[in-house]
Amino acid sequence: KNFPKVETKDDVASGDSVAMLELGELEPGTYTLTGGGESRVIEVTERPWQAVTDALIKGLYFQRCDELQEEHAGIYKHPACHTGPAEEWRKPEPPIPEDVRAQIPAHFLKMLEIPPEEPYGEAPSPRRIKGGWHDAGDYGKYVGPGAVTVAHLLYAWKLFPQGCSDDLNIPETGNGVPDILNETRFELEWILQMQRADGAFYHKLTSDHFPPFIMPEEDTQQEYLSPISRTATSDAVAALALASRVYRPYDAEFADKCLSTALFGWKWLTEHPETRPYRNPFGLQSGFYGDGEDHDERFWAACELYATTGETAYREAAEGFYREVRKLTQFGWAEVSGLGALCCLFDLKENGGEILYDDLKQAFLRRSEWALLVVKASGYGTAIPATNYEWGSILTSMSNAMAMIMNTLLTGREDMRDAALLQLDYALGLNAMDLSFVTGYGERQVMFPHHRPSGADGIEAPVPGLIAGGPNNKMNYPTVKDRLGDVPAAKSYIDETDFADMNEIAIYWNSPTVFVAAYYNALTAE
């Protein structure tokens, strides 16, 4: 079939001139597209997003801090890892020498002047903290990012169960619980262990520096429980309160444990109402995940507790924190207001009242319009502004996709639905790199992610079902400029293991992509 010539559109982010061709409705089968001296073979199926949705969920299984058995992991199996006891970080802070202080930028110096959180009571005995997901390309485990990942997955299940209900061949498959919930519980069980004796949550569990590119079982460094943080505590409270609702039909005892732990964490938060940003203590050089304020985290926690308990004290707290939040369409670890919005709009609904439903809904709908404007301005239909290709730019695309899907669910708007789909297309190859950022999927796909198991296992293909962060022209490694020169933002990408600033994976990039993919997968299941 010959298609008429279509108009091209300049794409500022890539410098490309792009033509978008509408193929219309096609019967299932294999087709060859030819144009511009190139050809591509495409396959049309009834459930085009099912396999990749399953793979993105199972990608988290491959991140387990645990033995991966051949029965479930195939060639990516490995023995149990990080089996030693963890110690609480209690090393004293040495003073910063004056000559060193003079060389530290003012904004970093201000951060260093924030004292670390004080330990609670006597030093606990070293103990084994089991499970959890390795957060990204290294082997650290972090409460805030883990809680956010949990929320993406649980809301994907709550809203689109038909889109994420396949058996995934993980150890728990066949136990009567959907595998997306089985996999998510593996992280929740770890989060439960990260609560300190007074109710606060440790910020993370890591070694004091990143390991080299070795397999996880070879990383035998001492693991440390970092100081606690307000953001980690709030995120854990929110995720556990949400989990108590989701898991109650399957395991009431586990649901009760999640809720009681969340309530204990909230008690600590109410006794410590002041904002106090987390910082790594001197000598702890693993991932930072610092956040300058915690109103959005406390807002999300209060929303989830109100949805779970119905107690007005939590509604009043959520209403108070709502006055301080603005970014209702963001769903990353640093800004979780969007997760609070998810809770209010789709769990609380009209029970949220004038503030948490009526006002919040109108504010959310207004702000989600911005995502659609970004898509319309892009030649590729990408929901990343040309000036905003940063570390983990895939999160910007997927957050905006989540916002547009939520808009569609609230309004029925097809333009929002179609624009959100372009973000899944972007992740799978509709981009200036002509590259699928999901390992194991696509004719041209990422092959060398910054991911220690993929780089150390001696297997040519990387671990499947992981999504790379994508193009980034901000906060780059010094060598990037030499390699890429002045390429446009959307082409600032190197598919090589060393370039974590562009090619790292992260659990909280997989999970919003699961949310998006599950929505479209559910549509084709109807």
Question: What pLDDT is stored for residue 128 in this prediction?
Answer: 97
Residue 460 is given by DSSP the state: S
Neighbours of 275 (CB within 10 A): 14
Within 77-192, strands assigned E span 87-88, 141-142
Which residues in the chain come in under a pLDDT of 70? 526
Contacts 24+ apart (CB under 8 A), 384-389: 384/13, 384/490, 385/13, 386/12, 386/13, 386/489, 386/490, 387/489, 389/13, 389/470, 389/471, 389/472, 389/473, 389/474, 389/489, 389/490, 389/492
Dihedral angle sign, alpha carbons of residues 503, 504, 507, 512: negative
Decide if 524 contacts 48 (C-beta within 8 A): yes
Separation CA 269–CA 243 (nearest Å): 19
Separation CA 287–CA 508 (nearest Å): 14
Question: What pLDDT is stored for residue 22 in this prediction?
Answer: 83
Q: Which residues contact 352 (CB under 8 A, 6 or more apart)?
A: 315, 344, 360
User: What's the pTM?
Assistant: 0.98
Question: What pLDDT is stored for residue 20 in this prediction?
Answer: 87
Question: What pLDDT is stored for residue 114 in this prediction?
Answer: 84
Question: What pLDDT is stored for residue 95 in this prediction?
Answer: 85
User: Minimal CA–CA distance to 20: which of 5, 42, 34, 30?
Assistant: 5
Q: Using alpha carbons only, give the angle 126, 301, 244 rounded to the nearest 5 degrees.
A: 75
User: Minimal CA–CA distance to 222: which of 129, 150, 361, 310?
Assistant: 129
Question: What pLDDT is stored for residue 105 in this prediction?
Answer: 83
Residues in the chain: 526
Q: Would you state the structure tokens that stand for residue 119, as one six-digit string?
A: 């330990």
Question: What pLDDT is stored for residue 248 in this prediction?
Answer: 98
Using CB atoms within 10 Å of the CB of residue 448, give its burial: 0 to 12 exposed, 13 to 18 middle, 19+ buried. middle
